[in-house]
Amino acid sequence: MVSEIWTEKYRPTKFHEVVGQDDIVKRVESLTNSLNIPHLLFAGPAGIGKSTLALIIVKELFKDTWKENYLELNASDERGINIVREKVKNFARTKSLGVVPFKVIFLDEADALTPEAQQALRRTMENYSATCRFILSCNYSSKVIDPIQSRCAIFRFKLLEKKDVEKVIMKIAEYEKLTISPESIEIIYEGSEGDCRKAINIIQSTASITPLITSELISTIISCAKPKDIKIVLDYAVSGDFLKSREKLLDVMLKESISGQDVIKAIQKEIWNLPVEPEIKVKLTEKTGEAEFRIVEGSDPFIQLQALLASFVLAGLGK
């Protein structure tokens, strides 16, 4: 995947430019306009606007002096107890520049902080609340200790819907003079799984080859299993032809260079389109989960997928 040049280039800089998360944006904007925000905890999947919203808050609060009043610590930085005690504490204890009476510290992926660092952080948040506000971002709020959660206003972000990702894609297509078909947008969205950053990187990768972005080219770039290919595999299996199903599966995995886990995800989506009873679909979903678990634990992907196809054959035979 190419570098995230476009991700930064098209990062929203105002509240109204943020796609999706409408309720959260409205509430955060109201707090920001009052020039007095509490400690904030943004929780949710990657690529949906948590870091972007934190940056917008800081820029709206401090205007031209935002860099002097803002400290960001990312997961790539060392963030043990010493960093919290020294760097964070030293920044938090000094007064801000400008009208706003506090500084802002943004801790990205706060759920990666060690338990000791989180314990040190809870005291820092309490002692320096007059001169500093914390914005914490994490994928799983359950990994942040309760004392920190109780000190924060918690905002839970959700994955972006297709219409939200489509807005971003069409905006980029207009500025970069790209031609993107509706089918291509569908595949980009499925490949990104609601992650806007991933969607932008897919477009950038494809646009570096040609400005005419087709569904076939995108499928090549993201190396995901095509639904129609997986459908053929499962149709052979449900009809009782295990050998043809196995042969097609091997062909898909080798030709498209697709991992076993990606195939499992594609199979899981296609199960509900099969012409079998709902009870059988439930059982097949359970079998799919077992195969995925074994692959993650280190089992041979092709052997596990063959075993999964055998379950589909038996289901098709009513066994």
The answer, yes or no, to whether residue 144 has pLDDT greater than 70, is yes
Looking at the chain, the whole-number percentage of residues with pLDDT higher than 90 is 31
Report pLDDT for 4: 64
pLDDT tens digits, 101-141 = 899 999 998 888 888 888 888 888 888 888 999 999 999 89
The answer, yes or no, to whether residue 2 has pLDDT greater than 60, is no
Higher pLDDT, 135 or 1: 135
Structural domains in the chain, CATH included, are 21-156 (3.40.50.300), 162-222 (1.10.8.60), 227-316 (1.20.272.10)
Instruction: Using alpha carbons, list the distances in angstroms from residue 33 to 4, 27, 29, 30.
Output: 31, 10, 6, 5
Q: Which residue has the higher pLDDT, 14 or 98?
A: 14
Question: How far is it, in rounded angstroms, from Cα 81 to Cα 124?
Answer: 12
- Quickly list DSSP for the chain: ---SHHHHHT---SGGG--S-HHHHHHHHHHHHTT---EEEEES-TTSSHHHHHHHHHHHHHGGGTTTTEEEE-TTS--SHHHIIIIIHHHHHSPPSSSSS-EEEEETTGGGS-HHHHHHHHHHHHHTTTTEEEEEEES-GGGS-HHHHHTEEEEE--PPPHHHHHHHHHHHHHHHT-EE-HHHHHHHHHHHTT-HHHHHHHHHHHHTT-SEE-HHHHHHHHT---HHHHHHHHHHHHTT-HHHHHHHHHHHHHHTT--HHHHHHHHHHHGGGSSS-HHHHHHHHHHHHHHHHHHHTT--HHHHHHHHHHHHHHHHTT-
pLDDT digits (tens, 9 = 90+) for 237-257: 888 899 999 998 888 887 777
